[in-house]
Structure 1
């Protein structure tokens, strides 16, 4: 497959208008959802924990994988935030998508966000399903509009968007421990002459089971228990785009088949034994901002959903921090 057909974006007409509408709807939603107390995220507001981690780039990678931060073997200090996706904070027993947001520190080089050009962080955001719920920004905006409207609007939307229903049903699951789950980026990213999707794959020796009588915060409790006794390990992997038709850039709702292009390890994530459940660390995790656009140009986010994230995540983060009267800043070490 000629390289000039890979990693190519096609921006549809009116995408920016749908993106601005989406940002406004999500800001209105968090204002409704948080009438008292702090202003929380529109998605992933319930945090199981933010933990210290090491991200070690694999030595002796083949040339096609030595891109950006993966060009040389090196260990980065990182923070990782685990969360539930649903905009309403609810018991962990509810079926949901779970999130793993990774922030590397000490990453040299200018970054993509104009107002954070010289920050030393690189974010990777992965979730517990391998496809995004919608195909593009227009469809996602329509879904949010329906879900924040009346019952009839919801019925009309989902009656005409069968793949959205299917992707949503497949993604909503129960899990035993956030440190023992696999995560995917769902959206693609630039990687040399092609694009990749990311996946974090856990090393699990003795898998936890969901408790017979789980409490509302049993996922956090599972993390506390595991990290009190030892470490957690993930392989960080990339899946190379090899065909622009079966592995589209502009439709993250379509799976890139692993049978066609397997995920390949490029780094190891080690979460050392630690205590992380202090109030100070919870506040720190609440105030962190994650976006795939905290990134080197070599790992530029691709596709409409990622283009929308650049605007939406920044707008929500700025609004949330201003409302909460908290400075918005990137961490530089494990010190809180």
Structure 2
């Protein structure tokens, strides 16, 4: 099968991109400064995925003897690496699960991956991160539109608390950019993508499939990333369905309960682009067809059986930062919107750590990641 070769021109970065970046970063800083009030929290939280469910000790094995088109970038060198996984809710506020929705994140940090990293100020980092979510599409396609959408999305809870009328008001503001434009096809398509998040079922966090949503460079090629539970893991999970009305944070409780019983395994997979029209790089609302190009496993993830405190290792999650640009040039996120994440994640992490009076420091292994003394100033 022929796969599309990576070309920088395909990313379609606009000339005034830095202007959009500066606006987005300013909004991130302003929002994080208000998170203690918005989430009624004792600390400053992330601007997205604010509520971490658990930080878990893991291992990643990059598989040997991969075919040339898969053995690109970090996947060239087979071997086992320590890793940490953070499960989280996608909401920008720390709220009970029944108010937060079912969008969830799987953030993965793999220790000991050699090579210069792309994230600003992280060039010498020893680690590689993945930031995935349990939905194959995203609800925005360009940096220009994200300047507006990101501000509105941060207020989504306020609208949805009003019920049906609040949702209608939210949709109206979304498609008209707060009455500044006529509804257009692009805005309607993005709103439709947002609505797919409402269809995510309430199941155990270990049973979801987690996606990069946007494309990444894959060495000479381009791809999307997925993490899926193995059949063995699906069979091991006892409480497959979650009653989000049963208590405030049933997802965290279920994670802690299941991981105390068994090792759980997952496949890290790559879906290579072989048709730019049907598998677009800059349309994140479009799911790539698995019939055209199936996901193929390049690594195995094992989350070890472990005892986790009731808070899900809160301090570990608070100390850690994850950015999809903490990776090699050969594996970085690509495209118009995706490129905003290059500085946005660093801005978010740096702001949060400074306000919480925490040392922002990248651990070299699991022992350091779970050692609070490592982060002391």
Q: TM-score, normalised to structure 2's length?
A: 0.83
CA distance in 1, matches of 2:323, 2:117: 12
CA RMSD of aligned residues (A): 2.2
Q: Would you say the 8 A contact 1:176–1:222 is kept in 2?
A: no
Please say if 1:158 is aligned against 2:184: no
**SS of aligned partner of 2:93:** coil
Residue 211 of structure 2: which of 165, 184, 189 is its match? 184
CA distance in 1, matches of 2:148, 2:243: 37
CA distance in 2, matches of 1:147, 1:198: 24
The equivalent residue for 2:247 is 215
Please say if 1:83 is aligned against 2:113: no
Q: Would you say the 8 A contact 2:104–2:134 is kept in 1?
A: yes
Identify the range of structure 1 (48-57 vs 281-290) with the bigger mean alpha-carbon deviation: 281-290
Please say if 1:248 is aligned against 2:280: yes
CA distance in 2, matches of 1:5, 1:54: 30
The equivalent residue for 2:51 is 46
CA distance in 1, matches of 2:296, 2:192: 28
**SS of aligned partner of 2:190:** helix
- Structure 1: gaps of 5 or more residues: none
- Structure 2: gaps of 5 or more residues: 160-165, 177-182, 371-377
Q: Would you say the 8 A contact 1:79–1:334 is kept in 2?
A: yes
Q: Would you say the 8 A contact 2:98–2:244 is kept in 1?
A: no
1:291-302 counterparts in 2 under 5 A? 291-302=323-334
With over 3 angstroms needed to count, the CA separation of the structure-2 counterparts of 1:110 and 1:223, relative to structure 1, is: same
CA distance in 1, matches of 2:117, 2:331: 10
CA distance in 2, matches of 1:264, 1:127: 18
Query: C-alpha deviations, 1:122-148, integer Å up to 9, x for none?
Result: 001110100111111112221123346
Q: Would you say the 8 A contact 1:6–1:244 is kept in 2?
A: no
CA distance in 1, matches of 2:244, 2:285: 34
The equivalent residue for 1:18 is 20
Q: Would you say the 8 A contact 2:129–2:326 is kept in 1?
A: yes
Identify the range of structure 1 (65-74 vs 145-154) with the bigger mean alpha-carbon deviation: 145-154
CA distance in 2, matches of 1:302, 1:148: 24
Q: Would you say the 8 A contact 2:120–2:346 is kept in 1?
A: no
Q: Would you say the 8 A contact 2:24–2:344 is kept in 1?
A: yes
Corresponding pairs, count: 336
The equivalent residue for 1:325 is 357
**SS of aligned partner of 2:83:** strand
**SS of aligned partner of 2:260:** helix
**SS of aligned partner of 1:93:** helix
Q: TM-score, normalised to structure 1's length?
A: 0.93
Identify the range of structure 1 (89-98 vs 294-303) with the bigger mean alpha-carbon deviation: 89-98
